[in-house]
Structures are given as C-alpha cells and as structure tokens.
C-alpha cells in the first residue's frame, strides 16, 4: 500500500516537475539561457489561479485557461523587460536579468496577496477522500493533476512535431543563422519561447495548486526540481525533460517514504550531481547520438 501510494504520489509530482522543466527547456533551446524566474512564474501563476477561482468565483477550467493566458502574457513581458534589452550582452547579464525578475515576481506576490509567510489554500476540485482499489491507494486529485499534465505534454509534443510555429521554434533552436536566412523572424520566436515557457509553468501551477499550499517562496523549490529534471534530460531535450521530471518525482517520493522526509528536498540535488558526473549530456544523449 505504501509503495503504491508513494509511486502514485511521485508520478503526479513528477509530471508537474516535468512541466516546469519543459518551460525551462523551451526557453533554453530557443535562446540558450536558463530562465531563473521559471519557479517564480509558477508561484505567481498559482496565486493568479487562486484569485480567479477563489476571489472571483470562476470555475476551475476557466481559472485554468485564464491563468495560462496570464502566464503567457507574463512570459512576453519578461522577454520585453529582461531579455531583449540585454540580449546582445554577456550571458551572465541575461541570466542575472532573469534572477532579477524572480525577485520582482516574489515581491509583487507579497504585495498583491499579502504573503508575509501566510499560506493560501486552493480548494480541492475533487473529493479529498482516497479511493482504495485492491492494493493501490488512489487520491482523485492526484489523478486529475497527472492526467492534466500528461495532456499538456502530449499537446506540447504535437505542437513541436506538427505545427508550423513549433517547427520554426525548433529550427531557431537548432541553428539560428539558418533560421534567419530562410526568413524566420527569430526575435519573435524568442518572444514566443518565453511566452510558451511561462504558460507551461502556469499550467503546472494550476494543476499543482489543489495539491499544495500557495506561498511566495514556493517557486524556488519547484525551480530546483524542474531544473534537476531538465538537467537529467540534457537541458535541451523535451522528451528528456519529461523523463527527468518523472524520475525526480518518483525518487523524491521513495526517498521521503523509505529513508526520511528530510531527504526529499536533497534528492533532486543528489540526482543533478550524479547525472553531471556520469552522463553530463543528459540521460537521452545516447539515443540522440544514435539518431544523428
């Protein structure tokens, strides 16, 4: 019973980490930088969802859509405010700009939602009572979050595989010069990458909100887990980020269940270290090397 619970829990949180990682990878693939405000985008979006759902009384689905749109708009703003003005500068300047944005978002969340160490709870969207199916303990809320995350991942994969815009993003990430030469307006692709990355973080936040408490400092923890997942996948691989997210979630849950709850937070760092030592190009690098 414990193992099944831990596995389900790990897969669910892993799916959410995978979404955070996907946002990081999309921006990194297109622009070559790591968006350190990804965790705070997740946090800020969670609060927006809370406002839409709890304060304005919108249903869960409209709140979800509204938050994803708001997240996309936030991503576009970050592109305009933090990336474009410094994009010709050293990469350190660009990364620091995203760190600055993370502080701005955290401060704004405290001002708007009166954080000050307060925790806001998002109402459950399903019955909080667990369902026991044979030896498996199922929490309906986790199933909703997991299925939602998987649906977003599939949509993401289809976007890159079949849509013209997705292919333009991939081409820009593969070779910016070639993309420019065929007439792809790469500045717009960067904007779209920031918007998409933030929208995915927002979607993850709305799915995670009923499972957790909302507080202004929650972003860093999710960023580290998403970053660990992205590193496991090699930082530039979308399937790798998904695999990494599930691995981080499952290892974290098992470590917390079988070793000690304090190991949960550390497990992501340990995984980053192991992967960087054993396979620094990511878990799927062997597969990619064979493909090319």
Partner 1 sequence: MLEVRHLKVSYGLTQVLHDVSFDVPDGKIVAMLGGNGSGKTTLLNTLTGLVKPAGGSVMFENAECAGLSAYDLVRRGIVQVPQGRDVWPSMSVEDNLFLGAVTRHDRAEIRKDQANVLELFPKLMPKLRRAAGSLSGGEQQMVAIGRALMARPRYLLMDEPSAGLAPAIVSDMVDTILALNERGLTILLVEQNIGVAAAVAEHAHVLQNGEIAFSGPAAGLLDDPAVLRSYLGR
Q: Which is nearer to partner 1, 179 or 204 (CB)?
A: 179
DSSP 8-class letter at 136: E
Number of H helices, E strands in the chain: 12, 4
- State yes or no: residue 185 binds partner 1 (CB under 8 A): yes
Q: Which is nearer to partner 1, 185 or 260 (CB)?
A: 185
Residue found under tokens 């979630």? 249
**Binding segment toward partner 1, per CB under 8 A, in 71-79, 80-88, 183-191, 260-268:** 183-191
Q: Which of 271, 234, 233 is nearest to 250 (CA)?
A: 271
Give the one residue of 117, 177, 261, 262 binding partner 1; rule: CB under 8 A.
177
**Binding segment toward partner 1, per CB under 8 A, in 167-175, 208-216, 257-265, 279-287:** 167-175
How many CA atoms are closer than 13 Å to the CA of 195, on its beta-carbon side?
14
Give the one residue of 4, 77, 126, 180 binding partner 1; rule: CB under 8 A.
180
End-to-end Cα, the chain, rounded Å: 44
Q: Which residues of 88-103 are buried (b: 16+ CB within 10 A; e: fewer)?
A: eeeeeebbebbeebbe
**Binding segment toward partner 1, per CB under 8 A, in 114-122, 176-184, 205-213, 251-259:** 176-184
- State yes or no: residue 289 binds partner 1 (CB under 8 A): no
Q: Which is nearer to partner 1, 99 or 157 (CB)?
A: 157
Give the one residue of 89, 121, 163, 175 binding partner 1; rule: CB under 8 A.
175
Residue found under tokens 């994009």? 87
- State yes or no: residue 178 binds partner 1 (CB under 8 A): yes
Backbone CA torsion sign across 174, 179, 185, 186: positive
Q: Which is nearer to partner 1, 168 or 231 (CB)?
A: 168
**Binding segment toward partner 1, per CB under 8 A, in 34-42, 177-185, 254-262, 269-277:** 177-185
Who contacts 42 (Cβ-Cβ below 8 Å, separation ≥6)? 20, 201, 202, 204, 205, 208, 218, 219, 222, 223, 226
DSSP bridge partners of 132? 137
- State yes or no: residue 157 binds partner 1 (CB under 8 A): no
Give the one residue of 182, 261, 262, 278 binding partner 1; rule: CB under 8 A.
182
**Binding segment toward partner 1, per CB under 8 A, in 114-122, 142-150, 180-188, 247-255:** 180-188
> Which two structure tokens, joined as six digits, stand for 283?
């878990």
CB 173 → partner 1: shortest distance, Å?
Answer: 9
Answer yes or no: are the C-beta atoms of 142 and 161 closer than 8 Å. no
Q: Which is nearer to partner 1, 137 or 184 (CB)?
A: 184
Give the binding-site size for partner 1 (rule: CB under 8 A).
19
What dihedral angle (degrees, nearest 10) is formed by the CA atoms of 222, 224, 226, 228?
-150
Per-state percent for the chain, helix, strand, coil, to nearest 5: 75, 5, 20
**Binding segment toward partner 1, per CB under 8 A, in 20-28, 33-41, 130-138, 165-173:** 165-173
Q: Which of 153, 150, 130, 152 is nearest to 141 (CA)?
A: 130
Give the one residue of 164, 261, 262, 278 binding partner 1; rule: CB under 8 A.
164
Residues that bind partner 1 (CB under 8 A): 164, 167-168, 170-171, 174-175, 177-185, 288, 291-292
């Amino acid at each position: 019973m414990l193992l099944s619970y831990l596995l389900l829990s790990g897969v669910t949180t892993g799916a959410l980490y995978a979404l955070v990682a996907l946002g990081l990878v999309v921006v990194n693939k297109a622009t070559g930088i790591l968006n350190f405000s990804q965790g705070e985008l997740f946090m800020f979006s969670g609060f927006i969802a809370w406002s839409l759902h709890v304060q304005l009384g919108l249903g869960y689905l409209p709140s979800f859509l509204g938050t994803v749109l708001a997240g996309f708009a936030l991503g576009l703003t970050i592109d305009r405010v933090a990336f474009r003005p410094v994009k010709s500068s050293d990469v350190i300047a660009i990364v620091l700009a995203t760190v600055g944005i993370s502080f701005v978002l955290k401060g704004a969340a405290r001002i708007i939602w009166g954080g000050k160490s307060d925790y806001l709870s998002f109402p459950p969207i399903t019955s909080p009572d667990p369902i026991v199916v044979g030896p498996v303990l199922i929490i309906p809320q986790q199933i909703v979050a997991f299925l939602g995350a998987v649906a977003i991942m599939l949509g993401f994969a289809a976007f890159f595989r079949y849509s013209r815009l997705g292919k333009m993003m991939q081409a820009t990430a593969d070779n910016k010069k070639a993309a420019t030469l065929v007439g792809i307006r790469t500045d717009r692709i960067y904007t779209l990458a920031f918007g998409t990355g933030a929208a995915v973080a927002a979607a993850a936040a709305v799915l995670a909100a009923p499972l957790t408490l909302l507080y202004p400092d929650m972003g860093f923890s999710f960023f580290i887990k998403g970053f660990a997942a992205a590193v496991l996948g090699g930082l530039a691989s979308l399937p790798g980020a998904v695999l990494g997210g599930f691995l981080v979630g499952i290892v974290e849950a098992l470590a917390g269940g079988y070793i000690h709850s304090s190991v949960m937070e550390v497990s992501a760092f340990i995984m980053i270290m192991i992967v960087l030592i054993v396979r620094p190009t990511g878990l799927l690098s062997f597969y990619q090397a064979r493909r090319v």
